[in-house]
Amino acid sequence: MALAPIDLTDRRVLITGATGQVALPVVAAYAKAAEVFALARFRRDEDVARIRDLGAVPIRADLGDPASLRRLPADIDYVLDFAVARSGRWDVDLRTNAEGIGDLMMQLPHAKAVLHCSSAAVYAYRGPAPHREDAPLGDNHRAFFPTYSISKIAAESTVRLCARRLGVPATIARLSVPYGDNGGWPFYHLVAMRNGAPIVVHPERPNLYNPLHVDDYLEKIPRLLAAASIETTTVNFGGSAPVSIEEWCAYLGDLTGLTPTFTDDPEAFGSLRLDTDRMHELIGPTRVPWREGVLRMVRALTPDALRPEHRPR
């Protein structure tokens, strides 16, 4: 049976990377019940205003700058870490992604639990075979994001060390493809299709992933917090149904009348299908069918692209 979710009502919750695609819906949803502190670099004043409008407290800080973390409230109950740096510079990205989560956890040694959002990109490529949590790790994304996979692997090690040394329970969630009404990878493919651009895929097809709808990760995050342990719980985090790029692009074609075209590139990411057995055991299966989620995404973002029978009524 899946773990019961942590009740975040009236809890003090710190969310990092708060203006990003994954974290912003978390801020919006959880600020309705919890006292949310939203950490980001906040280079634009309008982002600060948006966070305040959602009912959260903006905190201008940077995980790559330990001194900036001293302004955090000391009595945070739960930490949700979605911050990530993809500058392509090794010194910056290792410091921000790997050392940054360590500085954050040491700044908040009395937190009840930490959820660190990692990535399925930590796994070595192995074709369409599903990856369990003990599958080999590797430099998966080096062709496009040269620092990403390695700095995410390093961050996981930092989380494990700090959890054990500080006695702070932690969960590492290896996220697959997040998407929803605010976009995601399938939406970028739709944009390419509308522009007549080819979609780059690995030649070993099908290119399988586990797209995770925003409604599902909002429901699962409190369960991931419940799974946290001093020895750190590591779990794959994606939709229960594996879906290929080719399949979701074909469905986008059905919805819009567009025809996807594909270009093979052996340097493309390739399949990152997740074994979801442990996820199901700990937090249960996901609920949003991927076709329903994709249709909702297109209706929310580009309803004019849809065939008349699929447009919102």
pLDDT at 312: 83
In this model, does residue 290 exceed pLDDT 90? yes
In this model, does residue 45 exceed pLDDT 90? yes
pLDDT at 144: 87
pLDDT at 228: 98
- Where along the chain do its domains lie? 12-178+212-240+274-287
pLDDT tens for each residue of 79-110: 999 999 999 999 999 999 999 999 999 999 99
In this model, does residue 74 exceed pLDDT 90? no
pLDDT band at 313 (very low <50, low <70, confident <90, very high): confident
AA letter at 160:
R
pLDDT band at 134 (very low <50, low <70, confident <90, very high): very high
Neighbours of 14 (CB within 10 A): 25
pLDDT tens for each residue of 57-68: 999 999 999 999
In this model, does residue 238 exceed pLDDT 90? yes
In this model, does residue 298 exceed pLDDT 90? yes
Compute the chain's Rg from CA coordinates: 19
The fold of the 12-178+212-240+274-287 domain, in CATH, is: Rossmann fold (3.40.50)
Q: What percent of the chain has pLDDT over 70?
A: 100
pLDDT tens for each residue of 239-274: 999 999 999 999 999 999 999 999 999 999 999 999
In this model, does residue 156 exceed pLDDT 90? yes
- CB neighbours of 140 closer than 8 A, spacing ≥ 6? 121, 122, 123, 124, 125, 149, 269, 272
The residue written with tokens 């959890």 in the block is 163
Q: Which two tokens stand for residue 248?
A: 């979701």
Alpha carbon distance 76, 57 (integer Å): 13
pLDDT at 230: 98
Sign, Cα dihedral of 163, 103, 84, 152: negative
